[in-house]
Structure 1
């Protein structure tokens, strides 16, 4: 990590010039490669100026969606529209350079034989040389790297190279900025700082931004809305809070949280389980359910009065120190498999200790059991 990254982040960053944000829409988009369907019936719209993350596991179709939006990949059916103008369909194909789209790749794709300034100027070929240099230097100033204009990529740290790639992407002032795993090559400590500074620049330029990521925390942290993908289909498209607190199914819930899972049945307006009943509606009488409790939603209670503890009886099996939190493995009366609990460091429970547990309502999610 370079000294600049290590000590002062982006330092004296300039103010970013504004872009004219554009709306982006996918209308029943499908894409196949060699007969294999990669995307199926993708329909969504992104509002001008929104930051939207495409989130999912490897092979879910995230990068293919990005490449179709950019015009690098052709769709098999459906339409892509920018500001309600068709740019991709069965009969229309607008090339990438005519879409006012900026691209930032996972590996940054910097040219090793060009200076940092020349790298940023590369996307400004339509301007006269002097004007191109002025815009490139302004973009470098926006990301705090104006003093590195004459350096070469190998002379910069990973965080600095990421910022050069961002400067190159925003220099033409695109209406839509597409970013493919832009922070995956950075170490964890640097990633948070670079991510926050990048988001600040994105908000300043006002461009619509689509970010591909496989990191749920990153998506929650950066996005106005999140597209959760699985096997080439949209599972849920919603604001971060809605995805986290109201996941559409068990798979979506598990994507954002570590869960304790127990089975139950719906009777009389409640989910009946071995560890108690949970009030819920929307299910059929006798329907089998899956009750999911987030690890941080389990509260541990100290035993008092001759071993009595409030809540459900439990016993500590082991404690694992994780820094800001402790991870406990506990056995809970009524179920065979262990529960895992994330508890803020400070309240210590020893192995073998009898305790009580209770559950925060907002961290209990109930779904129909899938066959």
Structure 2
């Protein structure tokens, strides 16, 4: 018997408890999409389990929205296929119409009907439902998205965050198999974006609906997602948990998308010891030989300031106050520049020199 606690978990975790296999709600295999002759998505494969929330993260033009449109049925597929609940819905030979896919979509601009009230907007996609059920579903969603009492207002009378919640409620009303959200928070200020990302995660959990959220903000992705898909130049670079993606990025492109940092050179000195322009750092070197030259990615939080036997002097080039932290850009003796996020009690101005040391770094390749 599955406990009530187990029922609240994403399906992928249930399978680990019950021992029963669980098939993905969404499966994409070797997908390619083009605009004319331009390849926008290339060889993308992923699987989303029932109950999971995934975020697609990457810079503008990397293919995030194209991938979302292919899943929704707005973008044709050149090679590969997309399956929903085990059924092929997109391939070079199969294209289930978007309106028959039972996939909800929340657009960047909300796309609310200005002449309809909040209640009418939410109920728009469930007109075939008996009146009593339709009213019950509408009121239930108003409660869920914290808009009870706003049902008779019109979109222009709401804030941006409230409009986004109406759009979400409208997409949830027909009980979709999957929900897609395209940059849903981009029109909001930073603080509201992140609080709403947490709120949307809670709402999707309550409705037990899997979702894919497209974003270019890594903090939103960390907050909202069970899975994180990092795209760069049309390819899915990594599909993993947010924590593992951040801690163990598969390549330099992923590291630069999920964190802030700098690239510096390094040379293996011996067992677990690397020489860098920021001094020597202890790191595993089993895959390398003494003398190998490496490329390191140093996150801003991996650099510390203060007197230390292994510290090197660096000149402040730029300083930006961020409240409890200060963002500095330093020039090293070898001419390389690095960024560091230091405690606000570190006082320095452009032109000053500070002793810096490196606590860790990420190694991605070697240049012999």
TM-score (normalizing by structure 2): 0.86
Instruction: Tell me, in whole angstroms, the C-alpha distance in 1 between the residues paired with 2:75 and 2:314.
Output: 56
Instruction: Tell me, in whole angstroms, the C-alpha distance in 2 between the residues paired with 1:245 and 1:300.
Output: 23
Aligned counterpart, 2:338: 339
How far does residue 282 in structure 1 lie from its aligned partner after superposition?
Answer: 2.3
- Whether 1:358 and 2:357 are equivalent positions in the alignment is yes
Structure 2 SS opposite 1:147? coil
Instruction: Tell me, in whole angstroms, the C-alpha distance in 1 between the residues paired with 2:191 and 2:220.
Output: 13
8 Å contact kept, 1:310–1:356: no
Aligned counterpart, 1:292: 297
What is the total number of aligned residue pairs between the two structures? Answer: 344
8 Å contact kept, 1:110–1:165: yes
Aligned counterpart, 2:157: 155
Instruction: Tell me, in whole angstroms, the C-alpha distance in 2 between the residues paired with 1:200 and 1:345.
Output: 34
Structure 2 SS opposite 1:326? strand
- Whether 1:276 and 2:279 are equivalent positions in the alignment is yes
CA deviations 1:48-100 (Å, max 9, x no partner) are 11110111112211111111111222211211111222122233222223322
Q: 1:140 aligns with which of 139, 142, 157?
A: 142
How far does residue 350 in structure 1 lie from its aligned partner after superposition?
Answer: 5.9
8 Å contact kept, 2:279–2:358: no
Unaligned 5+ segments in structure 1 are 1-17, 304-308
- Whether 1:312 and 2:311 are equivalent positions in the alignment is yes
Instruction: Tell me, in whole angstroms, the C-alpha distance in 2 between the residues paired with 1:297 and 1:42.
Output: 32
How far does residue 352 in structure 1 lie from its aligned partner after superposition?
Answer: 6.3
Unaligned 5+ segments in structure 2 are 1-7, 12-23
8 Å contact kept, 2:194–2:219: no
Structure 1 SS opposite 2:253? helix
Instruction: Tell me, in whole angstroms, the C-alpha distance in 2 between the residues paired with 1:273 and 1:31.
Output: 42
Structure 2 SS opposite 1:29? strand
How far does residue 329 in structure 1 lie from its aligned partner after superposition?
Answer: 3.6
How far does residue 271 in structure 1 lie from its aligned partner after superposition?
Answer: 3.5
Instruction: Tell me, in whole angstroms, the C-alpha distance in 2 between the residues paired with 1:339 and 1:92.
Output: 50
Instruction: Tell me, in whole angstroms, the C-alpha distance in 2 between the residues paired with 1:119 and 1:221.
Output: 28
Instruction: Tell me, in whole angstroms, the C-alpha distance in 1 between the residues paired with 2:324 and 2:346.
Output: 12
Output the aligned Cα RMSD.
2.4
How far does residue 298 in structure 1 lie from its aligned partner after superposition?
Answer: 0.8
